[in-house]
Structure 1
C-alpha cells in the first residue's frame, strides 16, 4: 500500500503502518456489522431509534441531565438538530424536558423517569459500554486518549472522502 518501506516489526513490539492499516480494513467492517446486529430492546423497538438517538441517550445516561446547547456541543451538531431529536424522543416518552432550577428560562433534558423505559435504555447502552470497558481496561489513560483521538481522526478522514 505504501511506497515507503518501514522496518518490519514483531507482534510483541507493534505493527508496521501498512500491517495496521490492513488489519483495520479487515476489522472495521466486522465491527460495523456487529453494531448493526445489536438489537434494540423490545420496549424501544416501536420508537424507530437511530444511532444519533443512541448517542444523545448515551450522554444523558453517562453525564446526567443537560441543556440542549450542552448536548449539541457534545454531539458536535447544531442545537436545532438536538432540539428536533429531543422533541421526537419527548413525544415518545423517552426523554423529558424540565425547567432548569438555576434558571427557569432554560430547559434541561433528562431520561424519562419511567422505570421500564429507563431500564431498556440502560440495558441497550450497557452492551456497548461493557465491550468498551473490556477493550480499554488494559490501556493506560494516555493510550486510551490516543485511541480516541485516532478513531476521531479516522472518522474525520473517512467523512471527507468521496463516496
Structure 2
C-alpha cells in the first residue's frame, strides 16, 4: 500500500531530506507531553502509571464526547482488549467515567468527568499552542494543504496498521 504509492509518486531528494529532518523533531515533541501537563495531572498520571497511550484515549474521549470502548478502539485503531484495559486504568485513576448509555442501557459510554475537563483542557491548550502558532504563519491555502497532507499521512498510517 504505502510502498506502492511512494513508488508511483516519488518525492524529490530535497523534500525527502527535509521530511527526514522534520518528522523526528515532531515525534520528539509528541513524546514530551508529560512536560506540558499541569503539575497535578502529571502527578496523578505518574501515581497511576498512566502513559502516552492513556493520554491518546483520554484526549479522544475528551474531544469527541461520550463514546463506547468499541468506538474508541475503532477510531484510534486499537484492539478492543487494549482499549478496554486503557480505559479501565483511566477510570480507576479518575480520568474517565463509565455510564450507561441512556439510549441503550446495555451499552456503556466513556466520558471525562466534569471535574477533569478544565485541567485536561489546559493540557490540550498547551500542547496545541505550538501547532496553532505554526498554522497562523501559513496562508489559508497553505493551511488547507497542511491539513490535507496530515490527513493523507494519517490515512496511510491507518491503512498500514490494518494489514
CA drift of 1:62 comes to 1.5
**Cα–Cα, structure 1 residues 134 and 56, in superposed 2: closer, same or farther, change >3 Å?**
same
Structure 2 counterpart of 1:30, from 18, 25, 46 = 25
Runs of 5+ unmatched residues, structure 1:
1-15
Please say if 1:148 is aligned against 2:148.
no
- Partner of residue 58, structure 1: 59
Question: 1 or 2, which has the higher helix percentage?
Answer: 2
- State how far apart, in whole Å, the 1-side matches of 2:157 and 2:134 are: 18
**Paired residue secondary structure (2:114):** coil
**Cα–Cα, structure 1 residues 69 and 37, in superposed 2: closer, same or farther, change >3 Å?**
closer
CA drift of 1:136 comes to 4.5
- 145-154 or 102-111, larger mean C-alpha shift: 145-154
- State how far apart, in whole Å, the 2-side matches of 1:154 and 1:69 are: 20
CA contact (8 A) 1:136 1:144 kept: no
**Paired residue secondary structure (2:100):** strand
**Cα–Cα, structure 1 residues 42 and 35, in superposed 2: closer, same or farther, change >3 Å?**
same
Highest CA radius of gyration, 1 or 2?
Answer: 1
- Partner of residue 87, structure 2: 86
**Paired residue secondary structure (1:107):** strand
CA contact (8 A) 2:77 2:158 kept: no
- State how far apart, in whole Å, the 1-side matches of 2:145 and 2:85 are: 36
CA contact (8 A) 1:97 1:108 kept: yes
- State how far apart, in whole Å, the 2-side matches of 1:55 and 1:98 are: 20
- Tell me the alpha carbon deviations over residues 54-81 of structure 1, each in whole angstroms, 9 at most, x when there is no partner: 2112211221111111101111011111
- State how far apart, in whole Å, the 1-side matches of 2:132 and 2:102 are: 34
- Partner of residue 120, structure 2: 121
CA RMSD of aligned residues (A): 2.5
Per the normalisation by structure 2, the TM-score is 0.73
CA contact (8 A) 2:66 2:110 kept: yes
CA drift of 1:133 comes to 3.4
Runs of 5+ unmatched residues, structure 2:
1-10
